[in-house]
Structure formats: C-alpha cells, structure tokens
Structure 1
C-alpha cells in the first residue's frame, strides 16, 4: 500500500507526555503529520517550535467540549449556548492560526431535535466564515457507544448539514471506526461522500485499538481510499494497548 501517509493523533498516542514531546515522538516513529484534541493548556508558541523542529504539520484540533465534569462534549449544537460555542470556535481558530493547523473539528455536543440542528448550522456558518479559506472546519459523526446522546451520529446526517451550510471550507471528518459501528458499509459510504470529506481517521473495531485487527479489514479499506484518490495523511486515532506508548507494527505494514 505504498504512498499512504499517516498522522499520529496525540489525543491518544503518547498522551502521557507534554504535547511538544509527543510531537517529537511521532516524528521519531515515522508519522507524516500530527493532530490533537485539546491543546489549549500548552502555549501555542511551544507547539509551534516543536512542529518546526520535527518538520511536521499539525493537521487539526478540536473546539473545547465545555464543562467536562458534567459530561459536556461540545457546545455548537446546544440551543442558547451560542456565546460559549462561538468563544470556543474563536479560541480554536486563534490557536490553529498560530500553529498553522489545517483544520478545526467543531464539536456539536449532546442534544437532538430541530432547535439543536438550527443552532449547529448557525454556529457552523459562523465558524466557516471566521476561519477563512486556509482553515477547514470539520464535523464528525460519533457512535452512540462512545458518545451517547451526541447530536451528530451518522455520515448521512453530517452530509445533510454540510449541504445546508453550503460553505466551501466545511467538511466531514470520516472516522472509519465510528462509521463502521453506526451502520458499516464503510467503503461505499466513503466513496458516496468523498467530495464532502476533509479528513479521515482509523482505529480497529470494536476495541478502538491499532488498525491491524478486529472486524474491519483496513488492508482492504485503505487500499480503496487510495484508489479513490485520497492522498492526505490518515489520522491514527486509536487507544494503544500498553498505556500511552503505541504499538506501531501496523504503520510499517500499511505504509509499504
């Protein structure tokens, strides 16, 4: 599967280390890029230096989840919380701009119904316009085991929202792990939504481990992704079996 590129998701990989050290570890392990979840506790200037030293690009980061102690998982589809949602979007754009990150995943949060959809759409319009052409805004369907009650759960729902917002820099994060759990048929659904996809992530199903085992055959799925012309680094967002130090045997296999 030559010429496949991979991005280390530092929300899960080497997450026992400070973010600048995790960036260097990803470089040493042979990753082509990095991505993260919530880098805000680390000054952007430190991350910028580490990225430059490693020669890696930060592909993306997430907007703040809100109040995690009460189970919040994003703010942008919560009616009445628009000021906080937009503050989180502003924070993400400022950080992404400083470290030259390519994308921001705007987290919807736990909600449902038409008012939630309207709030999400308005906040995504705000995010897309404020981010400008150099930053892609991403939305990601999450499965109902890992994220019970999350507003966005299917590829088709995400595609409908992207078409409604109709901004060229709003795209879908297509995580094969979540998509497999929420209905499967992953390669057909990837192909059907390809024009709307801005980033791809992988992990094994059902244990969310390294992508070389489980019910989803990535040697087939990633070959199909490449055949369809996808050339950007694919995000390895999986839970290492041994704490924070990732098992990386799969990386050499899939890159060759």
Structure 2
C-alpha cells in the first residue's frame, strides 16, 4: 500500500511552514517535503518535525533572482549556484532532511550542461559529507518553458555523466506524463536512477483523482516495483487543502 508525503509548497501553503507540517500530520500523511523553507527558523521546522514524527524528505535550492528557476546550469553564475547549494544543504542538515533538489534554471546548450555538471559535482561532494542525496528534476515545457532539464532520458544522461552515487532523479509523474507519456514503462525504466517520486493530475496539476492518468493503476505499478518510500503529493488544491484529500483513501489499491 502506498504511503504519501505532503508537498508543503502547494498543500497548506496559506499556513506558516511549522503549522503546515502539523496539518499534514493531522491529515494522515506519512512524511512532508517543501520548496523553499528559508524564511523560517530551522529550529522551528525541526521542532514541528519532532512533534509530529514526520520526516522532511526534500527541499529545493534557491531559484535565484525574480523570474529565474534555479542557477546550477547558468554559465558564469557558478559562485551564486554554489552559495545556493551550500545554503540548501546547511538548512537540510539542521532539520534532518536527506535530499536537496538542485534547480538547474533556464538554459540550454553545451556550456549550460558543463556548468550543471560542475555544480552537481560540487553539490554531491558536499552532500556526501552529511549522507544526503542530490536530486535533479525534469520539468515540462508548459509550466517551465526553457528549463534546462525536460526529459527523464536527459536527466539519466546527466546522472551517468556525473558518476556520483548520491545523484538521483526526481521523477514527477505530472511533468513526465506531459513530456514523454507511457508513464508506467518510464517509471520501471528509470527506477534504478530515481530518488523520489511525485504526482498530480494531468493536465491541470490538481488533486490526483481526475485527469488523464489513472493513479490507482500508477500507484499499484510503483508498489509492484518494490518502491517503499512515500510518494510526494505535489498538486495544487482548489480551495482548502483539507477538502481536497479524498484521494488519499479512494486511490489506494486496496480501497
């Protein structure tokens, strides 16, 4: 039976992050994850995690300046990218989080790939010191036009070239159904490189109980893969988050 992680970048986003963690625990989530927690004191986040017994599965490196979507693949911005990576890993260490998503940014071409690989090498070396993983995530070209990573195969090639054992893919079913489709075969093919799985309805990124993907089937396939970690609910609720949670029961394979 699948377990679920609440992505607090979208769920209970109207609450301060410590309160959102507690709301996720009350709702029955097994873990939490977030986007950019940096305006909150890590001691307050750690206290909320300790109070609820939930683990923070991951957080993102900084997007950069307004209008940017990450720094790690931007040639000439290596110092800023590495500052953002160091910030993310320091914060993660303070709250007991074992994965950081290093955001690539809007870029393309060989120079961008070289910058990304060099910054990922830095990130992986730093992360290894605290037994953490680095994640990279392909994003779809409707929500993030011009983003450096846009397919699972491109991310797999980057991971292979980097040659780092703690570099993994964030497999977001929403993004990759839009970009590649044939989702369950893609999940099986990418399983050895995958560090975390996320989901939302396609195409509207709402709760996963509607749209073109049958998540009852997808969750059963993930279970058949032997995946035993919580799956990240990274969807945009319409209205109050608590009113959107019926899928947690209706989509379980045993329901």
Q: Could you tell me how far 1:106 is from its partner in structure 2? A: 0.2
Give the direction of change, closer, same or farther, for the CA distance of 1:43–1:160 in structure 2 (3 Å limit).
Answer: same
Any conservation in 1 of the 2:209–2:251 contact (CA below 8 Å)?
no
Equivalent residue, structure 1, for 2:137: 140
Distance 1:101 1:82 in 2: 24
**Which of 10, 15, 18 lines up with 2:16 in the alignment?**
18
TM normalised by structure 1 equals 0.97
Equivalent residue, structure 2, for 1:47: 45
Equivalent residue, structure 1, for 2:186: 189
**Comparing 238-247 with 37-46, which one deviates more in the overlay?**
238-247
Q: Which runs of 5+ in 1 are unaligned?
A: none
Q: Could you tell me how far 1:243 is from its partner in structure 2? A: 5.0
Distance 1:176 1:244 in 2: 20
Equivalent residue, structure 2, for 1:75: 71
Equivalent residue, structure 2, for 1:37: 35
Any conservation in 2 of the 1:210–1:250 contact (CA below 8 Å)?
yes
After superposition, the C-alpha distances for 1:190-242 in whole angstroms (9 at most, x for unaligned) are 11111100000000000100111100111111111110111100000000011
Q: Which runs of 5+ in 2 are unaligned?
A: none
Please give the root-mean-square deviation of Cα atoms over the aligned residues, in Å.
1.0
Q: Could you tell me how far 1:49 is from its partner in structure 2? A: 0.2
Equivalent residue, structure 2, for 1:249: 246
Taking the TM superposition and a 5 Å limit, the aligned residue runs for 1:132-171 are 132=128, 134-171=131-168
Distance 2:96 2:206 in 1: 29
TM normalised by structure 2 equals 0.97
Q: Could you tell me how far 1:253 is from its partner in structure 2? A: 2.3
Taking the TM superposition and a 5 Å limit, the aligned residue runs for 1:203-218 are 203-218=200-215
**Matched positions, count:** 252
